[in-house]
A and B are shown apart, each in its own frame.
Chain A
């Protein structure tokens, strides 16, 4: 054979092989991946245990057809000899015992040693735990979005750890508290480790709710492609304190922000709680935050990121810029220690309702639209048409110039009910100084309300002329809500009504709301339930979509949004209010008391709903309502009783009147 030809033949063959090679090389990764996943899981499996809920804690959810937190087996990780770390999903706040199932199947009794409430973690002391394998730690700084992340749990079965595979999506989420992954994180593996492809631990999986814990607890994100883990390095930093039995809370500074945009808004302080770390540091409403702990702050989100990961007891250094009434600017630096909680905040008021502001209204002195009969404002001689230009309260050095309703509310939020304040009022081109003693916000609905400012509709002419009934339809809405909207163009208050669930809501149901809607200038939104006989979590999203659809038709007055419901709709109304948070001005539970699983967090300036309850059909119901009234009052909420109403129709008149005064200052 000719060597030259042979060599050429080899070359040609090699060229052909090179063309074929790519389709072969990709075969290898799949089996190598499997082996890598299983090897990584095997490295931590001995540290992953199953947590079984005790029957005592499995309470039935009243009328809401979704999983309630704390109901179902979950996972824990052996973090140190005799200690298992798990989440508050497995061990809710009122529970102190649990059962731990170790990998060989044996059961052990466990007691709660301490909690890190800022991250929803619970440390359990367990007798007879096997020696834990050493957990490799991945430093947060080394994490890269895109790298493998495997979520390990034992929620399905004690026998073998469950595997969910994904990547690290982001390294600094949940206001600094968590690493984000797209591996399927759910109640099945909360409390288990999130590991990298070598079996080292990135963090412990936990539901990290963005907003303060309510009934839904952040567990609804489980199949959305988003999950969080608390970095192991953060846990180990506080483990010595947790081991001694010291529970940790999120650190509170005691301020709210003036801007309604809690992400990109200007970092200007809206209110400062009395007695808070911010007050001790000398911060005041109107101050602009410039620096926190050396990080420069340009928007509200920066400030929240700086304070978010901190615990109560941690120190924080804040620098603010202050411009006083004469226009002089100064820079103030202060260091203070964050607190665990504030005493319940009670809303102080003078008894006026301000003109409704649209989204792009100019922010200046607040014009008064209505004065409550018998209130301090009426007694001081304030009348409709007066404009509040500035307020002097006990603690700020000079007068705070009022720029829009939110700034007035902010100043009042820092005032204790009963405290005296001085208002600068402009009336007929003259300025007067008026002193007023504030009082606490009343709980019951006043007998009279502000006239409808919607610019249309004389109620005596018949509701048909003055109101329209529409379906709030949209591209992605299957069953649109029905809205009763008084005619006109100005901003309206909104009442969301959730009655006894019966599926889709019919336009005919709007009839009983028309007169009240017109009289008080309130739009009423009637929502339907997806399931024929129960409210469920997906209906909450339907409510927010309905509000967005309404706002697209007619601007909503953000200070007058009320949620109300009766029967199973009352518990649903509470859940909607929790979801809306400070966006909701009030929640009314008609003929009902608080839902069984309701968590009542102490009221705050940004989140203190006006709650209406009851009245209650029989003695037992009335007792429950009374007990819940005391509970809410203790937490600082203005709470009132609905009047007795024996008719079957919904209490349209009183609820619409209530919504029209939700923005009471």
Chain B
């Protein structure tokens, strides 16, 4: 209808109105040729008002419009099967009009031929450009032009919990050919560092992810787009993982900032290859605190003894104290204590929280010395 407000469309509008019986215009008045200007002038101002209001209100698109607009930028990917050969499919996101796609790095991409099917049903063969193993992110390329694509930008500020999101993905592979991918609605549940595992292996990414209140950990969902109410891409659906702490399935998305950093690293050939799991550890013995040896994989970090005249002795740490936190990080194993200390830079203050006879005691061990790994 906005087209009708432009001058070029006046004639067709007039014809339309001539045919509508409910208009309170006598037919005779229209047939007189010079009065067509007089006929239309009363409509021009109201139409302009409508146009302006329409533009103002259009700043808040409806969910249906947002989905329709965004779904065209999500693709269906098919490749090599996994162990059960049922999951040889996932989703991908168009990030450039020339056909650059980001998705998760998974066994689906191990195939010689990765098939990519667009929202309009067109098939392409995708080439794997590169992989960021730490973020488990992959960049693919198809030979195309003028495709609808997301403008992926780092976030100015993270979306807080409660933000409405829509996840677009080919979950369970239900969409085929020119069928649109599946839309699911939910909210951001939290934004936290990822501590997760797949089977027994720990996931390599340790940065912050969006945990979603939306059941997105389905076959086919990884690589799907997570958008906010305005249609902006805020994340990419991750792989099916369980939380290390609680064992529950994680519905999560890699934030846009990570998508930008990861794809830039891939395209410029500067992908970091050392897995994050090899973060340096720091032995608390260097501070004079000797913890109980690891008999099981999860020995609690009890203090066994204190070296005399050491930072630990001066700080008041005692045998039988149970370390429960290093700084703000809670620790439940000796390995976690070493990792938490390793994260600190030399010179950073080392503060521990311990339990002694049922009460919490804060211990200040002074600055972290330069140390060798055990």
B39 at the interface (CB under 8 A from A): yes
Contact between A108 and B360, CB atoms less than 8 A apart:
yes
How far apart are the CA atoms of A58 and B331 in the complex, in Å?
A: 12
Q: Which residues of A contact B49 (CB under 8 A)?
A: 13
How far apart are the CA atoms of A451 and B23 in the complex, in Å?
A: 94
Contact between A28 and B60, CB atoms less than 8 A apart:
yes
Q: Which residues of A contact B278 (CB under 8 A)?
A: none
Q: How far is the CB of B222 from chain A (nearest CB, A)?
A: 17
Interface flags for B131-163 (1: CB within 8 Å of A; 0: not) read: 000000000000000000000000000001111
Q: How far is the CB of B16 from chain A (nearest CB, A)?
A: 10
Given contacts A12-B17, A60-B298, A73-B245, whether A17 and B358 have CB atoms under 8 Å apart is: no
B173 at the interface (CB under 8 A from A): no
Contact between B47 and A72, CB atoms less than 8 A apart:
no
Interface flags for B58-87 (1: CB within 8 Å of A; 0: not) read: 101111100000000000000000000000
Contact between A157 and B38, CB atoms less than 8 A apart:
no
A618 at the interface (CB under 8 A from B): no
Contact between B246 and A67, CB atoms less than 8 A apart:
yes
Contact between B46 and A67, CB atoms less than 8 A apart:
no
A99 at the interface (CB under 8 A from B): yes
Contact between A41 and B355, CB atoms less than 8 A apart:
no
| Smallest CB gap from A150: residue in B | B162
Q: Which residues of A contact B111 (CB under 8 A)?
A: none
Given contacts A34-B229, A161-B161, whether A72 and B245 have CB atoms under 8 Å apart is: yes
Contact between B246 and A10, CB atoms less than 8 A apart:
no
| Smallest CB gap from B60: residue in A | A27
Contact between B43 and A52, CB atoms less than 8 A apart:
no
Contact between A72 and B42, CB atoms less than 8 A apart:
no
How far apart are the CA atoms of A633 and B348 in the complex, in Å?
A: 58
Contact between B192 and A107, CB atoms less than 8 A apart:
no
Contact between A111 and B360, CB atoms less than 8 A apart:
no
Q: Which residues of A contact B189 (CB under 8 A)?
A: 156, 162-164, 184
Instruction: Determine, out of B174-182, B255-263, B303-311, B320-328, the stretch whose residues face the partner at the interface.
Output: B320-328
B275 at the interface (CB under 8 A from A): no
Q: Which residues of B contact A163 (CB under 8 A)?
A: 161-162, 187-190, 213
A378 at the interface (CB under 8 A from B): no
Q: How far is the CB of A545 from chain B (nearest CB, A)?
A: 19
Within 8 A of B (CB), among A207-235: 222-223
A11 at the interface (CB under 8 A from B): yes
Interface flags for B40-53 (1: CB within 8 Å of A; 0: not) read: 01110011011000
Q: Which residues of A contact B298 (CB under 8 A)?
A: 55, 58, 60
B333 at the interface (CB under 8 A from A): yes
Contact between A12 and B324, CB atoms less than 8 A apart:
no
A244 at the interface (CB under 8 A from B): no
| Smallest CB gap from B195: residue in A | A156
Q: How far is the CB of B100 from chain A (nearest CB, A)?
A: 30
Contact between A10 and B328, CB atoms less than 8 A apart:
no
Q: Which residues of B contact A54 (CB under 8 A)?
A: 300, 322, 324, 332, 355
Contact between A223 and B249, CB atoms less than 8 A apart:
yes
Contact between B23 and A12, CB atoms less than 8 A apart:
yes
Contact between B43 and A13, CB atoms less than 8 A apart:
yes
Q: Which residues of B contact A9 (CB under 8 A)?
A: 42-43, 46
Contact between B360 and A109, CB atoms less than 8 A apart:
yes
Q: How far is the CB of B223 from chain A (nearest CB, A)?
A: 21
B221 at the interface (CB under 8 A from A): no
Q: Which residues of A contact B107 (CB under 8 A)?
A: none
| Smallest CB gap from A111: residue in B | B358
Instruction: Determine, out of A18-26, A347-355, A587-595, the stretch whose residues face the partner at the interface.
Output: A18-26
A328 at the interface (CB under 8 A from B): no
B24 at the interface (CB under 8 A from A): yes
B374 at the interface (CB under 8 A from A): no
Contact between A186 and B248, CB atoms less than 8 A apart:
yes
Q: Which residues of B contact A111 (CB under 8 A)?
A: 358
Q: Which residues of B contact A293 (CB under 8 A)?
A: none
Contact between B187 and A37, CB atoms less than 8 A apart:
yes
A647 at the interface (CB under 8 A from B): no
Given contacts A156-B189, A162-B190, whether A13 and B25 have CB atoms under 8 Å apart is: no
Q: How far is the CB of A119 from chain B (nearest CB, A)?
A: 21
How far apart are the CA atoms of A188 and B245 in the complex, in Å?
A: 10
B372 at the interface (CB under 8 A from A): no
Q: Which residues of B contact A237 (CB under 8 A)?
A: none
How far apart are the CA atoms of A188 and B195 in the complex, in Å?
A: 14
B201 at the interface (CB under 8 A from A): no
Contact between B162 and A41, CB atoms less than 8 A apart:
yes
Q: Which residues of A contact B246 (CB under 8 A)?
A: 67, 71-73, 155, 186-188
Contact between B248 and A8, CB atoms less than 8 A apart:
no
Of the residues A10, A33, A34, contact of B42 by C-beta under 8 Å = A10
Within 8 A of B (CB), among A2-60: 2, 5-14, 16-17, 20, 23-24, 26-28, 30-31, 33-34, 37-38, 41, 52-56, 58, 60
Within 8 A of A (CB), among B287-340: 296-298, 300-301, 322, 324-325, 328, 330, 332-333
Q: How far is the CB of A453 from chain B (nearest CB, A)?
A: 43
A105 at the interface (CB under 8 A from B): yes
How far apart are the CA atoms of A11 and B17 in the complex, in Å?
A: 13
How far apart are the CA atoms of A31 and B301 in the complex, in Å?
A: 47
Q: Which residues of A contact B330 (CB under 8 A)?
A: 52, 73, 99, 101
Q: Which residues of B contact A222 (CB under 8 A)?
A: 248
Contact between A31 and B229, CB atoms less than 8 A apart:
yes
A66 at the interface (CB under 8 A from B): yes
Of the residues A20, A55, A157, A165, contact of B213 by C-beta under 8 Å = A165
Contact between B245 and A33, CB atoms less than 8 A apart:
no
Contact between A162 and B47, CB atoms less than 8 A apart:
no
Q: Which residues of A contact B247 (CB under 8 A)?
A: 66-68, 71-72
Q: Which residues of B contact A17 (CB under 8 A)?
A: 50
Of the residues A20, A53, A161, A165, contact of B187 by C-beta under 8 Å = A165
B232 at the interface (CB under 8 A from A): no
A93 at the interface (CB under 8 A from B): no
Of the residues B23, B60, B186, B296, contact of A8 by C-beta under 8 Å = B23
How far apart are the CA atoms of A155 and B190 in the complex, in Å?
A: 10
Q: Which residues of A contact B47 (CB under 8 A)?
A: 13
Of the residues B188, B243, B324, contact of A107 by C-beta under 8 Å = B324
How far apart are the CA atoms of A7 and B245 in the complex, in Å?
A: 69
Of the residues A28, A55, A67, contact of B301 by C-beta under 8 Å = A55
Q: Which residues of B contact A552 (CB under 8 A)?
A: none
How far apart are the CA atoms of A14 and B46 in the complex, in Å?
A: 9
Q: Which residues of B contact A158 (CB under 8 A)?
A: 328
B211 at the interface (CB under 8 A from A): yes
| Smallest CB gap from B208: residue in A | A157
B103 at the interface (CB under 8 A from A): no
| Smallest CB gap from B187: residue in A | A165
B191 at the interface (CB under 8 A from A): yes
| Smallest CB gap from B300: residue in A | A55
A97 at the interface (CB under 8 A from B): yes
Contact between A41 and B46, CB atoms less than 8 A apart:
no
How far apart are the CA atoms of A161 and B192 in the complex, in Å?
A: 11
How far apart are the CA atoms of A81 and B238 in the complex, in Å?
A: 41
| Smallest CB gap from A59: residue in B | B298
Q: Which residues of B contact A475 (CB under 8 A)?
A: none
How far apart are the CA atoms of A616 and B164 in the complex, in Å?
A: 57
Contact between B50 and A107, CB atoms less than 8 A apart:
no
B106 at the interface (CB under 8 A from A): no
8 CB < 8 A contacts A-B:
A12-B46, A28-B60, A30-B63, A99-B324, A162-B161, A163-B213, A165-B213, A223-B215
Q: Known contacts A9-B46, A156-B190, A163-B190; can you find 19 more A-B pairs with CB under 8 A? A: A5-B42, A12-B17, A23-B62, A26-B62, A26-B63, A27-B62, A30-B229, A31-B164, A38-B160, A54-B355, A55-B298, A56-B300, A60-B298, A71-B245, A97-B358, A107-B353, A111-B358, A163-B213, A187-B248
Binding site for A on B (CB under 8 A): 1, 17, 23-25, 38-39, 41-43, 46-47, 49-50, 54, 57-58, 60-64, 160-164, 186-192, 211, 213, 215, 229, 243, 245-249, 296-298, 300-301, 322, 324-325, 328, 330, 332-333, 353, 355, 358-360
Q: Which 9 A-B pairs have the closest CB atoms?
A: A67-B247, A9-B42, A55-B300, A72-B246, A13-B46, A27-B60, A37-B162, A72-B245, A6-B42
